[in-house]
Amino acid sequence: MPEGPFGKYLVVVIGAGPAGLFASRYLAANDVHVALLNRDVMPGGLAEYGIYFDKYKMKEGLRRQFQQIMDLPQIDYFGNVTIGEKGDLRLSDLRALGFQALLVTVGAQGTKWLGLPGENLVGVYHAKDLVYHYNLLPPQSTMEFRIGKRVALIGAGNVMLDIAHWLIREIKVDEVISVVRRGPNEVKFSKEELKIVIRNLDLAKLESELARTRPIAAEVGQDVNEAKEYILSTLPKGLEPVSNTRFYFEFLAAPNRIIGNEGGFATGLEVEDTTLVCSEGDVEAKRLSTRRILDVDSVIFCIGDKVDETFGLAVRKNAFVKHPNPLYPVDALSFEAYDPDVNRPVDRVFVAGWSREASSGLVGVARKDGENGARAILEYLASTPSLVDPMSIMNALSTKLAKLSKPVVQKADLIKLYQAAAREATNAGLPEYKFKTNEEMLKAMGLYDHQV
């Protein structure tokens, strides 16, 4: 039960990824008491369950920073609680409790389907689910994914390379094809990530793709030699290969449909040829209506995510809708949730991080966005009266959470979880250990009996 003292204001932050955690810290430093609610048992979001699992040092550094935030007495943590229309509590339930502001930092948990025929075939997945799977986030941790031998990855960002990393160095499939709707000059991945798989790249195929795309790129003022230099500059520092996986790019190829067999399994990807056109200062892919089929048995969309449409806020352009004329802008950006159906801001609700702009940037970007969301809230709070009885609101929240048919995880429970995981890691001689299911985590914290 939260005990206080509570400071001047009381704010609920929903989602304990980097945006929510750093927002909470910012608020806590400014006389705000924070109730931090999180779907996952553990805090960290994609920093815990997205960043590739072998980046131990980076993840450990982030966990240390998160722990310092979690240790702040102004922050009460409630994990294993999902907010949403189909969740444990609705956004409106929290608002009704009387919190002065609500900050939504739940990331982008929805799926960006393109509506292509064959998306529902076995062997067709979205990157986030696979990423959650190999990073052991329940429930994806125990789901089955049927990965074949020849895998098409749609997209050319860092998520594509994370999945390529897993397929090439862990699963060791025969072929990984990065299917790119624009040209070689528009790849979005970083050199650092490319180094991990560059030595599996089919260099002859790269040359032929560069030759094929050269005249088309030239039409929009691009020189594919620059892309070649970008890609090949990573070769000298490329990691020693551990598989014979052939990795290559198919440029100027937009996914059109996934072909399947009678059993419902993916057996090919039809792509439509594209050309490049200039549009409002950008280079876009224009479909040409000629098509070809790539001989693959798995297709993974690495095209970014969208927010969860069942959360309870309006969605546009993959993110929650923001006030077009914000009352509390920060760096000229709007953090205020908006209801376009009634043309009004959503009372007291703010958004930040990947909930504000889906699939945008690294942890540092989410941190800054969370802090800016907190700044917007502080501006808003400055014009609202202090709460008379914050304790009763926190008590009402605790009462509501206690009525859920599942245990709610608090800070003291997490300490037990981390200790249990550390013991497992030591016993198994591993750099780290993660429990695969919520049951295992709840048992490790002594909360499983609470289960009804």
Ligand X SMILES: Cc1cc2nc3c(=O)[nH]c(=O)nc-3n(C[C@H](O)[C@H](O)[C@H](O)COP(=O)(O)OP(=O)(O)OC[C@H]3O[C@@H](n4cnc5c(N)ncnc54)[C@H](O)[C@@H]3O)c2cc1C
Ligand Y SMILES: NC(=O)c1ccc[n+]([C@@H]2O[C@H](COP(=O)([O-])OP(=O)(O)OC[C@H]3O[C@@H](n4cnc5c(N)ncnc54)[C@H](OP(=O)(O)O)[C@@H]3O)[C@@H](O)[C@H]2O)c1
Point out which residues bind ligand Y (CB under 6 A). Answer: 114, 154-160, 162, 181-182, 186, 188, 193, 254-255, 302-304, 359-362
CA distances from 100 to 121, 365, 382, 393, 421 (A): 46, 26, 11, 10, 37
Q: How many Å apart are CA 198 and CA 202, to the nearest integer?
A: 9
Q: How many Å apart are CA 229 and CA 435, to the nearest integer?
A: 43
Task: Return the exposure string of 277-308: e unless at least 16 CB atoms fall within 10 Å of the residue's CB, then b.
Answer: eeeeeebebeeeeeeeebebbbbbbbbbbbbb
DSSP state of 167: I
CB of 439: closest distance to ligand X in angstroms?
17
Chain-centroid distance of CA 402 in Å reads: 29
Q: How many Å apart are CA 235 and CA 89, to the nearest integer?
A: 50
Residue number with CB closer to ligand Y (55 or 423): 55
Write out the DSSP string of 310-341.
TSSS-EETTEE-B-SS-SS-BTTB--EEEETT
Q: How many Å apart are CA 394 and CA 401, to the nearest integer?
A: 11
Inter-residue contact 31 to 4 (CB < 8 Å): no
The listed partner (ligand X, ligand Y, none) that binds 39, CB under 5 to 8 Å by sort, is ligand X
CB of 171: closest distance to ligand X in angstroms?
16
Q: How many Å apart are CA 273 and CA 290, to the nearest integer?
A: 6
Chain-centroid distance of CA 320 in Å reads: 15
Residue number with CB closer to ligand X (82 or 256): 82
The listed partner (ligand X, ligand Y, none) that binds 76, CB under 5 to 8 Å by sort, is none
CB of 259: closest distance to ligand X in angstroms?
27
The listed partner (ligand Y, ligand X, none) that binds 37, CB under 5 to 8 Å by sort, is ligand X
Chain-centroid distance of CA 111 in Å reads: 11
Inter-residue contact 6 to 32 (CB < 8 Å): no
The listed partner (ligand Y, ligand X, none) that binds 19, CB under 5 to 8 Å by sort, is ligand X
DSSP state of 445: T
Residue number with CB closer to ligand Y (47 or 102): 47
Q: How many Å apart are CA 56 and CA 197, to the nearest integer?
A: 19
Inter-residue contact 163 to 127 (CB < 8 Å): yes
Q: Which amino acid is at 398?
A: S
Residue number with CB closer to ligand X (82 or 213): 82
CB of 179: closest distance to ligand Y in angstroms?
7
Residue number with CB closer to ligand Y (239 or 425): 239
CB of 425: closest distance to ligand Y in angstroms?
23
Name the site residues for ligand X (rule: CB under 6 A): 14-20, 37-40, 45-47, 50-51, 55, 82-84, 87, 105-107, 109, 131, 159, 162, 311, 353-354, 361-363, 365-366
Give the residue closest to ligand X by C-beta: 17
Q: How many Å apart are CA 435 and CA 438, to the nearest integer?
A: 8
The listed partner (ligand X, ligand Y, none) that binds 155, CB under 5 to 8 Å by sort, is ligand Y
CB of 45: closest distance to ligand Y in angstroms?
12
The listed partner (ligand X, ligand Y, none) that binds 82, CB under 5 to 8 Å by sort, is ligand X
Residue number with CB closer to ligand Y (182 or 348): 182
The listed partner (ligand X, ligand Y, none) that binds 156, CB under 5 to 8 Å by sort, is ligand Y
Chain-centroid distance of CA 171 in Å reads: 22
CB of 256: closest distance to ligand X in angstroms?
25
CB of 107: closest distance to ligand X in angstroms?
2
CB of 126: closest distance to ligand Y in angstroms?
10
Give the residue closest to ligand Y by C-beta: 157
